[in-house]
């Protein structure tokens, strides 16, 4: 715990926050008015928190439940104050919330912002959890006066900063609980003192905030001037209104509020469930993933309300993690107001709501794929990797998710993926297996020797380049009766039959002794055998069906998690008996089994097989020496 200040105290922001403030102040965001949206949103959250805490601690409010967010412009002082009577903050909370930037302030985030073109920089701040700092776009000094709920007038704290790297903390007094954010506006931001401008911004950005956003206006009646309070927002929870009454612009603006996104959503889903289970939901499919989607801690995208009272931000129990890109709100009439996070995990009502939401989202995606294939393709490029998580995590919806997958194949032009159903439609009815190959890029794997046999037989192969595809294929196992088989592993009945045929061929053509000799010279391989899967290349490495693939080994190493995986299994070196190099090796062995060139050629065949599968050589220098030695023999 931080000791309570008893006198003014100066502190420095954390380094990342200083850098972020510099970016904000220098016009990273062009729509300056969003500062007010962010401050109003923060104030509403503080009120929601106070309401929720008061469900179990009624004395916390001290009889004051007249919730309001006040906008107080002062033209003489040049200040705009955003005041609330919410939960308030003690000193520790102020330091945590205003002196740091928490998880959002990573160096990677800042570096990405710097590198992005101006037109590509997201036109919002709240998406990164830094809404308060938008204040410095319009203010050269910001003062925060806050008193926590349950405390007395002398428990307040004053925080102040000019955004240049330091802030001050000092004890203060506030008559009631809540927080005042006082913006000392710069000369070029005095427009935000005008009543009409505040009204315009609130109507545009915060009209659906449940709590009244008020300001005092001067009115004249019969020659007498008087001041009265005016509510600037409609306060109508949009999800409680009839769909026919809601304009598309209203749906879009609420999406921007709830998601902190600056773009319109791809799809809007407005659900009303009545009968044995009553709830309302307004959820959205985003057009594109947030700027930090893959490198911040995954969070749920739905907020849970119970009879219009916000119970929980980002409720993990409303949707599975593989739908975390879905944004919006759910309002239930069947849950108790004092439901805790622990009770939510085992609540049957919430479980039924979750099932209904998942079903509706999947149906929406299925309709989008069918009726708007181009829009679905754009969506899948943004969120396909997340959607794939459901294949391995959600057996109940695995078949429906398989229908939503888009894959590239050897028979499709690059950049134009297809569905598994379309691939199946092109397969011969008697075919029992659907082959796939996983690698870093399509350019790498479409020239792989593992595809040679499949091409020769006219078979279509899935070309997969997403790191999660390994888990997806293993989780699916089969698709509509067709077994999914890895082209670089001995995974199918066809491979077993081919191996048996190759063994008989080796015996018939006198390869058996050579193969045993090569296996002794190459301890890094499980065995050396002939293969029928190659038509052009001399050799390839093949893993057993249950072993980790070379691609997965490389992925674990890149993630720094190689130690968590089982030790790499030795793979079999398969040789193409039709290739001139293999035939020459056989003649060389027949002439002299002790010929030193045999080991050189064997090492080269193994090394080129390692390169062909996309892996790195353990001894590149040794490979170069053996290759140079062979070249020297050829050209002299």
R_g over Cα of the chain: 33
Phi, psi of 160 (to 5 degrees): -150, 140
pLDDT tens digits along 350-369:
999 999 999 999 999 999 99
Pick from 83, 37, 65: which is nearest to 207 by CA? Answer: 37
pLDDT tens digits along 149-175:
989 999 999 999 988 778 899 999 999
**Confidence band for 566, pLDDT divided at 50, 70 and 90:** low
Query: Over 90: is that where the pLDDT of 437 sits?
Result: yes
Task: Copy the structure tokens of residue 26.
Answer: 């220098």
Least confident of 111-115, 140-144, 258-262, 290-294: 111-115
10 Å CB burial of residue 219 (0-12, 13-18, 19+) is exposed
Least confident of 76-85, 112-121, 261-270, 622-631: 112-121
DSSP state of 204: H
Instruction: Please enumerate in sequence order all residues whose Cβ is within 8 A of that of 326, keeping only pairs 6 or more positions apart, or say none.
Output: 283, 284, 285, 301, 302, 319, 361
> What's the pLDDT score for residue 122?
37
> What's the pLDDT score for residue 120?
42
pLDDT tens digits along 29-45:
557 887 898 899 889 88
Judge contact between 179 and 98, C-beta under 8 A.
no
> What's the pLDDT score for residue 102?
38
Q: How far is CA 106 from the centre of its chain?
A: 16
Query: Over 70: is that where the pLDDT of 498 sits?
Result: no
Q: How far is CA 195 from the centre of its chain?
A: 40
Beta strands 139-147 and 156-161 are: antiparallel
Rounded to whole angstroms, the Cα distance separating 320 from 411 reads: 34
| Percent over 70 (pLDDT), the chain | 85
> What's the pLDDT score for residue 21?
66
Query: Over 50: is that where the pLDDT of 581 sits?
Result: yes
> What's the pLDDT score for residue 218?
83
> What's the pLDDT score for residue 103?
38
CA distances from 173 to 8, 88, 551 (A): 14, 13, 63
Other beta carbons less than 10 A from residue 345's beta carbon: 11
Instruction: Please enumerate in sequence order all residues whose Cβ is within 8 A of that of 306, keeping only pairs 6 or more positions apart, or say none.
Output: 331, 332, 333, 335, 336, 337, 339
> What's the pLDDT score for residue 216?
93
Least confident of 270-279, 285-294, 514-523: 285-294
Q: Identify the three-state secondary structure at position 75.
A: coil
What DSSP line would sit under 82-142, residue for residue? Answer: EEE-SS---HHHHHHHHS--GGG--HHHHHHHHHS-GGGS-S-SGGGT-GGGGGGGTEEEE
Highest mean pLDDT among 131-140, 238-247, 568-577: 238-247
> What's the pLDDT score for residue 136?
87
Q: What is the largest CA-CA distance in the chain?
A: 120
For residues 113-118, average pLDDT: 51
**Confidence band for 562, pLDDT divided at 50, 70 and 90:** low
Judge contact between 5 and 157, C-beta under 8 A.
yes
Rounded to whole angstroms, the Cα distance separating 53 from 292 reads: 31
Query: Over 50: is that where the pLDDT of 573 sits?
Result: yes
Q: Which residues of 55-72 are buried (b: 16+ CB within 10 A; e: fewer)?
A: eeeeebbeeeeebbbbbe
Least confident of 182-186, 503-507, 576-580, 588-592: 503-507
Beta strands 267-273 and 224-231 are: unpaired
Query: Over 80: is that where the pLDDT of 128 sits?
Result: no
The model carries a pTM of 0.71
For residues 53-68, average pLDDT: 86
Q: Which residue ranges form the domains of the chain, and what is each CATH number?
A: 9-231 (3.30.565.10), 238-375 (3.30.230.80), 405-487 (3.40.50.11260), 506-543+570-635 (1.20.120.790)
> What's the pLDDT score for residue 115?
56
Rounded to whole angstroms, the Cα distance separating 322 from 344 reads: 19
The sheet that has 302-306: what strands, in order across it? Answer: 267-273, 279-285, 327-332, 302-306, 309-312
**Confidence band for 125, pLDDT divided at 50, 70 and 90:** very low
For residues 203-209, average pLDDT: 80
Other beta carbons less than 10 A from residue 172's beta carbon: 18
**Confidence band for 387, pLDDT divided at 50, 70 and 90:** very high
């Amino acid at each position: 715990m931080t000791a309570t200040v008893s006198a003014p105290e100066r502190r420095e922001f954390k380094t990342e926050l200083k850098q972020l403030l510099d970016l904000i102040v220098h016009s990273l965001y062009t729509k300056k008015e969003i500062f007010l949206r962010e401050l109003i949103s923060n104030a509403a959250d503080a009120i929601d928190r106070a309401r929720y805490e008061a469900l179990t601690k009624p004395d916390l409010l001290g009889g004051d439940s007249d919730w309001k967010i006040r906008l107080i412009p002062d033209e003489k002082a040049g200040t705009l104050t955003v005041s609330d009577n919410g939960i308030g903050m003690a000193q520790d909370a102020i330091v945590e919330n205003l002196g740091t930037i928490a998880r959002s302030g990573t160096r990677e985030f800042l570096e990405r912002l710097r590198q992005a073109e101006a037109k590509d920089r997201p036109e919002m701040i709240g998406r990164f959890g830094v809404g308060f700092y938008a204040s410095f776009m319009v203010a050269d000094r910001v003062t925060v006066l806050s008193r926590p709920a349950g405390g007395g007038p002398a428990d307040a704290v004053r925080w102040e900063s000019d955004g240049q790297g330091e802030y001050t903390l000092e004890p203060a007094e506030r008559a009631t609980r809540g927080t005042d954010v006082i913006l000392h506006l710069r000369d070029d931001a005095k427009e935000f003192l005008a009543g009409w401008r505040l009204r315009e911004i609130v109507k545009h950005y915060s009209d659906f905030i449940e709590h009244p956003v008020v300001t005092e206006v001067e009115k004249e009646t019969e020659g007498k001037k008087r001041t009265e309070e005016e509510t600037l927002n409609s306060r109508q929870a949009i999800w409680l209104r009839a769909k026919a009454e809601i304009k598309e612009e209203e749906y879009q603006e609420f999406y921007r509020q709830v998601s902190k996104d600056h773009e319109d959503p791809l799809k809007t889903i407005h659900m009303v469930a009545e009968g044995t289970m009553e709830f309302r939901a307004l959820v959205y499919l985003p057009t594109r993933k947030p700027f930090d989607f893959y490198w911040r801690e995954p969070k749920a995208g739905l907020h849970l309300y119970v009879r219009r009272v916000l119970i929980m931000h980002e409720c993990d129990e409303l949707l599975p993690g593989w739908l975390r890109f879905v944004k919006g709100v759910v309002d239930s009439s069947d849950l108790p107001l004092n439901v805790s996070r622990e009770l939510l995990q085992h609540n049957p009502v919430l479980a039924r709501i979750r099932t209904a939401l998942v079903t509706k989202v999947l149906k929406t995606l299925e309709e989008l794929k069918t009726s708007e294939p181009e829009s679905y393709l754009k969506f899948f490029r943004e969120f396909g990797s997340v959607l794939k998580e459901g294949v391995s995590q959600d057996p109940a919806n695995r078949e429906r998710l398989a229908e939503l997958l888009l894959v590239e194949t050897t028979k499709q032009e690059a950049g134009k993926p297809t569905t598994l159903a379309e691939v199946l439609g092109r397969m011969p009815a008697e075919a029992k297996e659907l082959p796939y190959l996983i690698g870093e890029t399509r350019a790498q794997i479409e020239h792989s020797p593992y595809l040679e046999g499949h091409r020769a037989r006219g078979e279509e192969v899935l070309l997969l380049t997403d790191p999660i595809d390994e888990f997806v294929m293993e989780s699916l196992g089969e698709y509509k009766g067709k077994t999914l088989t890895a082209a670089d592993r001995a995974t199918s009945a066809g491979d077993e039959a081919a191996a048996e045929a190759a063994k008989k061929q080796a015996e018939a053509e006198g390869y058996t002794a050579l193969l045993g000799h090569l296996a002794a010279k190459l301890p890094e391989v499980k065995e050396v055998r002939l293969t029928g899967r190659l038509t052009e290349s001399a050799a390839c490495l093949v893993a057993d069906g249950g072993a980790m693939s070379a691609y997965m080994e490389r992925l674990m190493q890149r993630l720094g998690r190689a130690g968590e995986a089982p030790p790499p299994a030795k793979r079999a070196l398969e040789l193409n008996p039709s290739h001139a190099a293999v035939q020459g090796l056989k003649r060389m062995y027949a002439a002299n089994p002790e010929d030193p060139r045999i080991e050189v050629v064997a090492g080269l065949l193994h090394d080129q097989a390692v390169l062909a599968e996309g892996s790195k050589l353990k001894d590149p220098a040794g490979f170069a020496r053996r290759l140079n030695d062979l070249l020297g023999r050829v050209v002299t």
